[in-house]
């Protein structure tokens, strides 16, 4: 009999979630309708933002945020070297060049000095990433952006429910726009889905246009005046269909009622890992800074592979045999063949030696199981398996 594997992440779906989605199936709206508005209201309330604009995917939300910021050909956008590729791809979709900054060695959040060195006269936007759920150095990134006349799009795909200097991620104190993802391994899910939060009315308007083909329906904003009649609408920009459906939004709104409980459980799991791993010097968790509180999308550790005498593939294989799934977050984005080609073609090749902290992090990175339904016994099982596989040193 094969051992069931603990995945590194998974969704938590309740009977209330199922009832919420089923109710929409019996209603008049399947695609974007009243449930999307209610879901957006729950996001605004939880994050303290003036506007929340739901999107079909987090990736589409980042794309929309870059478009709303006016990113286009000839521009550059700087993001962290250690992130999911979508944090950079959003700029490439618009013909701009994504470039990368190194990370801090302790938290793996973007290194602000490296970020500043990556800024050129072509830079338009900075995209800090709240890696694993711990907010980036948002105040410093914001100060840098203001100094250079840039916008900040915070990639908060990992950090819904996190706090920075006592305020919720998404409140907009240090970001012009904040992007969320609702992929199943995230804090709440809509299957696929995302959103952008902003306090800026003009950006919010542009974000709404972009997700719906660039179509304007508000008469006072029509180019043609007076409006020819009640049927009339204008496609004023080249947008997309990036709408979230009411089916998804109902799931999201139901999940939002449990966000505090989900985040509390993730923090309790992290605290237990921290305690148990204190006896395993070959397994080192990321540092947690005093002025911010992670919502732990991931629990990422550094494995001392040299001391363990094994390569990472072997460690992952042996953990799996012990019933423990794991994953690597992330391959430094500049290493991907698309970005290598793209950066070289722009005359900005990125070599691994230029990113010592990202390379060092990547070499030993492993994400351990982290999701609300993980039990304390599961955490003990993961740490026991690690003790067996990498040794106690
Ligand atoms: C840091 C980061 N940014 C962006 C995304 C894209 O979000 P989505 O999968 O909802 O398109 C993800 C998804 O995993 C992510 O981890």
pLDDT in tens, 103-160: 999 999 999 999 999 999 999 999 999 999 999 999 999 999 999 999 999 999 999 9
Q: Token pair of 296, please?
A: 């732990």
* CA 86 / ligand 1 centre spacing (Å): 6
pLDDT in tens, 27-85: 999 999 999 999 999 999 999 999 999 999 999 999 999 999 999 999 999 999 999 99
Q: Token pair of 236, please?
A: 């004023």
CB of 83 within 6 A of ligand 1: the answer is: yes
Say if residues 134 and 289 touch (Cβ distance below 8 Å).
yes
Strands 123-127 and 76-80, how do they pair?
parallel
Say if residues 198 and 177 touch (Cβ distance below 8 Å).
yes
* CA 215 / ligand 1 centre spacing (Å): 26
- Cis peptide leading into residue 330 (ω within 30°): yes
What is the number of the ligand 1 atom nearest to the C-alpha of 86?
4
Find where tokens 């026991």 sit: 384
What is the strand order of the sheet 163-164 is part of?
A: 167-168, 163-164, 292-293
pLDDT value at 93 more than 80: yes
Q: With pLDDT > 90 as the criterion, what percentage of the chain qualifies?
A: 98
Confidence of residue 2 (pLDDT cuts 50, 70, 90): low
Return the ∠ at Cα 122 (arms to 121 and 128), rounded to 5°: 100
pLDDT in tens, 305-333: 999 999 999 999 999 999 999 999 999 99
Say if residues 21 and 11 touch (Cβ distance below 8 Å).
no
What is the strand order of the sheet 365-368 is part of?
A: 283-285, 299-303, 365-368
Question: What size, in residues, is the chain?
Answer: 393
pLDDT in tens, 222-260: 999 999 999 999 999 999 999 999 999 999 999 999 999
Confidence of residue 3 (pLDDT cuts 50, 70, 90): low
Find where tokens 């550790």 sit: 301
Domains (ranges, CATH) in the chain? 15-256 (3.40.640.10), 259-390 (3.90.1150.10)
Q: Closest by alpha carbon to 244, among 65, 88, 60?
A: 60
CB of 57 within 6 A of ligand 1: the answer is: yes
* Radius of gyration in angstroms for the set of CA atoms belonging to the chain, rounded to a whole number: 22
Q: What is the DSSP-derived secondary structure letter of residue 241? A: B
Q: How many CB atoms lie within 10 A of CB 87?
A: 26
Q: In this structure, which residue's CA is closest to atom 7 in ligand 1?
A: 58
What is the number of the ligand 1 atom nearest to the C-alpha of 58?
10
Q: In this structure, which residue's CA is closest to atom 4 in ligand 1?
A: 86
* CA 231 / ligand 1 centre spacing (Å): 37
Contacts of 267 (CB under 8 A, 6+ apart): 293, 294, 295, 296
What is the number of the ligand 1 atom nearest to the C-alpha of 194?
10
Q: Token pair of 226, please?
A: 């007076």
CB of 292 within 6 A of ligand 1: the answer is: no
């Amino acid at each position: 009999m094969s051992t069931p594997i603990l995945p590194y992440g998974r969704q938590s779906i309740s009977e209330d979630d199922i009832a919420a989605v089923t109710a929409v199936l019996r209603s008049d709206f399947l695609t974007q309708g009243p449930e999307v508005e209610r879901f957006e209201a729950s996001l605004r309330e939880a994050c303290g933002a003036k506007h929340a604009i739901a999107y079909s995917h987090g990736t589409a939300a980042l794309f929309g945020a870059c478009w709303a910021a006016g990113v286009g050909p000839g521009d550059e956008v700087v993001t962290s070297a250690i992130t999911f590729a979508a944090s950079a791809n959003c700029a490439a979709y618009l013909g701009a060049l994504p470039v990368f900054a190194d990370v801090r060695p302790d938290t793996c959040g973007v290194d602000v000095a490296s970020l500043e060195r990556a800024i050129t006269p072509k830079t338009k936007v900075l995209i800090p990433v709240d890696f694993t759920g711990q907010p980036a150095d948002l105040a410093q990134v914001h100060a840098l952006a203001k100094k250079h006349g840039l916008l900040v799009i915070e990639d908060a795909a990992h950090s819904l429910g996190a706090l920075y200097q006592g305020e919720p991620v998404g409140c907009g104190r240090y970001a012009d726009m904040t992007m969320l993802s609702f992929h199943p391994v995230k804090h709440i899910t809509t299957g696929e889905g995302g959103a952008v939060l902003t306090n800026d009315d003009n950006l919010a308007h542009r974000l709404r246009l972009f997700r719906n083909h660039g179509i304007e329906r508000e008469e006072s904003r029509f180019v043609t005046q007076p409006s020819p009649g009640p049927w009339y609408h204008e496609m004023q920009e080249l947008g997309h269909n990036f709408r979230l459906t009411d089916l998804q939004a109902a799931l999201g709104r139901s999940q939002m009622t449990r966000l505090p409980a989900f985040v509390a459980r993730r923090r309790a799991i992290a605290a237990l890992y921290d305690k148990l791993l204190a006896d395993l010097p070959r397994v080192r968790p990321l540092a947690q800074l005093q002025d911010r509180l992670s919502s732990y999308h991931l629990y990422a550790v550094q494995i001392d592979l040299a001391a363990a005498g094994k390569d990472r593939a072997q460690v992952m294989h042996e953990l799996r045999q012990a019933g423990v799934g794991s994953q690597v977050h992330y391959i430094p984005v500049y290493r991907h063949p698309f970005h290598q080609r793209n950066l070289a073609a722009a005359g900005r090749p990125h070599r691994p030696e230029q990113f010592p902290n990202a390379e060092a992090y990547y070499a030993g990175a492993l994400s351990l199981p982290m999701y609300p339904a993980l039990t304390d016994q599961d955490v003990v099982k993961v740490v026991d398996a690690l003790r067996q596989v990498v040794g106690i040193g």
